Amino acid sequence: MDKANHFKISGKELQSKTIDFLRFPLIIGVIFIHTDFSNIILPGVKQINFVNYPIFSHVFILFSKIIFATCVPLFFLISGFLFFYKTDVFTIKVYLQKLKNRVHTLLIPYIFWNLLVILFLFLAQTFLSGGLVSGNNKLIIDYSVQDWFRAFWDTSMINPTLDKSLPINSPFWFIRDLIVVILLSPLICFAIKKIGVYVVIALGLLWIFNPWFYEPGLSTVSFFFFSAGAYFSMYQKNFATSMKQMLPLVAPLYILIVIATLYFLGQSWWSYLYCGGIMVGLILAVGLSAYFIEKGSWHTNTFLANSSFFIFAYHRLPLVFVIKFLFKLLHPQSEAVLLLLYLACPTIIIVLGLLGYRLLRQYLPKFTAFINGGR
């Protein structure tokens, strides 16, 4: 008897294992998204112009702007699925209990990690020199009471030169928008129960026509993919099994979309290719993971999966410093060095994050659980 068939796992178990498996690879993708050399200034001088490095720029766009663009939407989908998982009746009592749970898993880590970034920025602004601090942003010591609140919601209100509405720990825009969509989850639940998949389709069209809409706490990407996950959960549809069955279609289609997205970069209708690549790439990521997990070829490393939130929470500021330090040290002026740095910077951050998580979990397990939302 074939070994893979002998140990065939159930659909629910496959879905659970797929979610757990994806956590760490998706975080790696997020770190690569943030490994952006396009605006490195040392000191007061922009270091590189992508136009002068066509090979590196195409590699960066291919991975950080196209392939890994699937990571955050997939996190929203998983979050929506888990929020409504095994929830037969969505009463006020159930809703309040879910909010209470999210205080520990989302709100407390959100406050802690933003506070930590404020502390490190204050120390950097006070003691560091040599161009590692840009000097373009308002000093923490000059923050007003309003600025302190804005730092947790939208730092563009503190530093008008910023073109995005992000909290001071910028990747936590995901947590901020997730909290907002969870607060509005009764409306999502009601709409899906009354109208079904058409709500998801409508939100999907809204996202496709405006994929980069990011008002603080309100983004089209969060509402669409969270609602899509909620739909799968509320109607008890196994998204891992469904997406695995679509592999023969989506695998070649995704390759074609990625090539087209790279080739037609800059066209006015490029965003439609971008959105198509995200949706097909999401199906491919889930389907491939489910396929190889079911075969027994891929397994979840529990330590890596558990460390994912810590690495996500800590990575942004250290990544900026590592990039600036290595640029200051190496003064990259060639395609090869830039490509090397593009791999080295995320690798350093991931290794340091894994080491830091292991040490914290070993010596301060309760504190580590507290700042990681119990993960």
pLDDT in tens, 143-165: 999 999 999 999 988 887 776 88
pLDDT at position 88, please?
Answer: 83
Beta bridge partners of 257: none
Predicted local confidence at residue 7, as pLDDT: 57
Q: Is 215 helix (H, G, I), strand (E, B) or coil?
A: strand
For 238, the 3-state DSSP assignment is coil
**46 three-state secondary structure:** strand
pLDDT, averaged in runs of 10, over the chain (375 residues): 56 95 97 91 75 93 97 98 91 95 96 95 77 68 91 90 86 97 97 95 97 92 98 95 96 97 94 97 98 95 96 95 92 93 97 97 96 87
182 burial via Cβ count (<10 Å: 0-12, 13-18, 19+):
buried
- pTM to 2 decimal places: 0.93
pLDDT on residue 9: 84
CA separation for the pair 275, 55 (Å, rounded): 24
Structure tokens at 201: 């389709």
Q: What is the pLDDT of residue 6?
A: 45
d(CA 185, CA 230): 9
Q: What is the DSSP string of 303-360?
A: HHHHHHHHHHHHSHHHHHHHHHHHHHHH---SHHHHHHHHHHHHHHHHHHHHHHHHHH
Q: Where are the domains of the chain?
A: 3-371
State the amino acid at position 115 in one-letter form.
L
As a whole number of angstroms, the distance between CA 236 and CA 244 comes to 16
d(CA 37, CA 234): 42
